[in-house]
Structures are given as structure tokens and as C-alpha cells.
Structure 1
Amino acid sequence: MRPVDVARAAGVSSQLVRDLLAEGVLPPAGRTPGGHRILDERHRAALLAHRALVAGYGHALARDVMLAVHAGEQAAALALLDAGHADLHAQRLALEATAAALAAVATAPPVVPESVPREGLLVGELAHRLRVRASALRVWEAAGLLHPVRDRDGYRRYDADAVRDARLVVLLRQSYQPFPQIRAVLDGVRRSGDTTALHAALEARRAAFTVRARAMLTAAAALDAFLQLPV
């Protein structure tokens, strides 16, 4: 087979096939007397495995797995896949912990009244409480997520409601929610305590994990098909 034939099997460009050959992601290719590359079924299967690994595990891990396989280090390659599954599982656990924390923060009173001074918290004080940088609070304000008031001297002041909102932002950012999604959650909580957007954000993240898990299964099957081919 020619590089273009292998490329068509995976729906990629011939240049990508040549690049992957040069990187060692695909097995070494033979040459015709005229210097043209000769590829075979192993190259096609390796390319399909690599593309599936990219979809399930990302470019860096996919490359490392294929390099390990071609180096004869199959146990190391499988250990990398195990690490990918462990990472996904850890993200699932973190999401559920975040969901529980968000539910508690969103449905509880904003903050125990005496825990926030009547004049509110300064940006540095709130950042310290939340264990984030003061610059992060300013970025979130610029994105329309937080609305501190200004005192006579122009300093930002965060009242109990603003502290609650900041806590929600921290938790949602920990689960990689984008700003528009966070804004929808905050709008619902501020307006009526509605957590519909909150639950929608969490479900979207869970759905993304399911898609990734399926992609990992597909990648494992493609890699196994390659490993079963004779060398």
C-alpha cells in the first residue's frame, strides 16, 4: 500500500501518515528500488489505533502508547492506558464531590451573617478565604460572574451574596465549567434559588465523561486488533 492508501482508510492526509512514520508512531516502512514507501496492513491498523487513541486519551498519550508498542514494551503501553482510565475515574469522583458541594452552597443561606462584616470583605480577604488569587476574582468580575460594590475609596467590597457567588464560581471552575455556563447557574440561583442550570451543567459534564469512556473502549479495541497482527 502507498501512504495515500493508508491515509484514506483513516480519513486523514498523506502528510499526516508521513509525519507519523517519521515520529515512529507507525511501524518503519520499507522502500521500493525507486525510493517510494511500502506500507502494509500493520501500518493501516497502527494508524487506526493511533487515531482512536487520540480520540480517547489525547495526542500525547496516544503517541507514547504507540512508541512503547513499537519498542516492544507492551506492558508499559498498557500501563499508560491504565493511567488514562484512572485519570477519568478521578475526574468522575471530583465531579460528584463538586456536585454535592454545589448543591449545599446553592441551597443554603448565602453565608452565616456574622462571618461577613457589614461593610463586606475586601478582594484580598475573600481571595484568602477561598484560596484563590485576587486576580482570579477580578477576572471573574470582568466576565460578569461577580458584582462587588465599591466603597468610598474605590475598593471592592463583597457582601454575603457575593461571597456565596464566588464560592459557586470556584466550585464550578474546579469542574472545568466555562464562563457562560457558570453565568447561567449564578443567574438562576440569584433570581429564585433555581438550580436548573446547575444540574444541566453537571449532566453535561457527566455526558462528556461517558463519551470519553466509550472512546477509550474503541481505542482499546483498535489497539488490540493491531497487537494481534503478525510482526
Structure 2
Amino acid sequence: MGGNLQNGERLRPVDLARAHGLSTQAVRNYEEAGILPAAGRTPHGYRTYTSLHAGALRAFLALVPGHGHRTATSIMRAVNEGAVDEALHLVDESHAQLLDDRQTLRAVERALRDLDLGEAPDPGTASGSGSDPTTGTVPGSGGTFIGPLARNLGIRPATLRKWEGAGLVHPRRDPRTGYRVYDEADVRDARLSHQLRRGGYLLEQIAPLIAQVRAAGGPEPLEATLRNWHDRLSARGRAMLAGAAELEAYLRERG
């Protein structure tokens, strides 16, 4: 209905709402938020809308899936205030975020692939004389100390301690010495963190990914998660295209 309006045709709030599956209160809320231009008023004070309002509503509803409610609101408010450049800047920021998310996904996929293809690190050789943090593994535990693991990764022990503070690894403490002991899962997480850090990703970006690997019990169960992530990014990209088309149509109608 909204797409077939003539320019001079007037709509009641209920007409605009029904055409888009909304409540009349939602339409009023959108107007108050600046998503829609200010409505006209009848002599009795009732709101009236036109094809311009229908176009604004179509544009907003098309922008939400790709940009989110808050950004879509800011875009429409900027357009309705005449700040088109600001609106387009917001659109650009969303596209930049999508690109960053795509690059993060590729980095994760690459890091997991390298993790699968690479040989398991040799954290050190167990010493028969007891738990020695300078020589390698903890006898009978399958764990390794911080020094040998850091050397294997080519990083400093201080870096591993920093990663621990950021939640990337969770070493336990050797009960006899109090030294950190990294089990197989910690070594895996440290290797994955190292790959992502080499790709330029921040600790706060890596932490939720490591948490997913840990929750899944390893990289293999994450394949479905990564596919879902890829599908969601593709859907977001297509939604942005649909939103751009409706926004352009609204900008043309505004003149």
C-alpha cells in the first residue's frame, strides 16, 4: 500500500501503521524520535501522513537489519534534519565495521587452519628430577611451564602473563612451586592467541573467540559457528544493500 501512494494522498496513523505491520503507537514513537518527518495536522489536531512519511518508514525499516536500530535511527534523524552528509558518514561507518568483522572472521579461520596444520609445540622435555620451570614439562601432569612455552612461541613470559590477565589462557599453579602450569588446552589457546596477535588483533577482540574455542572443546566444533558467522555477515551485507536502496529512494523523494 505504502509504495503506491500518490504524493497528495493523506494517511491516518492507522493507515501507515497497518501498511507496515506496526502499531499506531510505534508510528507516533518513530515520529517523536525523528525517524519520520513531523506529521501534518487536521483542523482537529489529528496527525496526517503522506507518501514522504511512508518512504521514510520504509527506509528506516530497511536500514535496521543491516545497521541496527540505533544507527538506523541516527541515519534517519540526520536526513530529516537536512544533515545528509552526516547520515552518509554513519552508513560508511557501518560498512567499515562490516569489513572489519569480515577480516576478523578470515583471521580466525586462518588461525584455526594454521593451528590444525601446524605441528603441536614441543614445550620442553620433562626432567626426571622434578618440577623445573626452566626445563619443560611437569612430570606426570602433561603440563608445561611458562618459560618453555614462551620460548616455543617466540614470545616473552611477560606476554603470556598479560594474556592470562586478559582471559586468553588459564594456567593452574603447581602446588609445590607455585609456578604457572599450562595444560594442553592452554597451549592450544596460547598458539591461537599468538596467531591472532600476529594478525594485528587486540586482546579484547581475541578474548571472546578464545572463549568460544574453550566452550566448544577445541577448534573442530567451531566449524558450524564459523559457518553461521559467515552467513550472518553475508545477510548483513545484503541487508545494507536493501537499506541503501530505500534510503536513496527516500532522499530522491525529499528532493
Letter in 2 for 1:229: E
Given that residues 118 and 159 in structure 1 are in contact (C-alpha distance below 8 angstroms), is that contact kept between their aligned partners in structure 2? Answer: no
Q: Which amino acid aligns with 1:6?
A: L
Deviation, 1:18, is: 1.0
| Matching residue of 1:166 | 189
Other structure's SS at 1:109 match: coil
Cα distance in 2 for partners of 1:230, 1:152 equals 72
- Give the paired residue count: 213
Deviations 1:6-35 (A, max 9, x none): 122222222221111112111011111211
TM-score with structure 2 length normalisation? 0.69
**Do the aligned partners of residues 69 and 178 (structure 1) sit closer, same or farther apart at CA in structure 2, a change above 3 Å counting?**
farther
Q: Distance in 2 between matches of 1:156 and 1:4?
A: 69
Query: 1:113-192 maps to which residues of 2 (within 5 A)?
Result: 113-114=123-124, 117-119=136-138, 120-121=144-145, 128-129=159-160, 131-134=162-165, 136=167, 151-152=174-175, 157-167=180-190, 174=206, 183-184=215-216, 186=218
Greater relative contact order: 1 or 2 (C-alpha under 8 angstroms, separation 6 or more)? Answer: 1
Gaps of 5+ in 1: 141-145, 190-194
Q: Work out the CA distance in 1 between the residues paired with 2:51 and 2:107.
A: 46
Q: Tell me, which stretches of 5 or more residues in structure 2 are unaligned?
A: 1-10, 125-133, 139-143, 147-155, 197-204
Is 1:56 paired with 2:66? yes
The structural deviation recorded for 1:213 is 0.4
Q: Is the 8 A contact 1:31 1:37 kept in 2?
A: yes
Q: Are the structure 2 counterparts of residues 181 and 167 from structure 1 closer, same or farther at C-alpha, using a change threshold of 3 Å?
A: closer
Cα 1:127–1:203 change in 2 (3 A) is farther
Return the match for 1:218 from 242, 247, 252.
242
Tell whether the 8 Å contact from 1:113 to 1:160 is kept in structure 2 after alignment: no
Structure having the higher Rg: 2
The alpha-carbon distance between structure 1 residues 113 and 230, as it changes in their structure 2 partners (threshold 3 A), is: closer
Counterparts in 2 of 1:126 and 1:209: CA distance versus 1, 3 Å: farther
| TM-score w.r.t. length of structure 1 | 0.76
- What is the aligned-residue RMSD (CA, Å)? 3.3
Could you tell me how far 1:222 is from its partner in structure 2?
A: 1.1
Higher helix residue share: 1
| Residues 1:182 and 1:163: Cα distance change in structure 2 (over 3 Å) | closer
Q: Secondary structure at the match of 1:75?
A: helix
CA contact (8 A) 1:95 1:175 kept: no
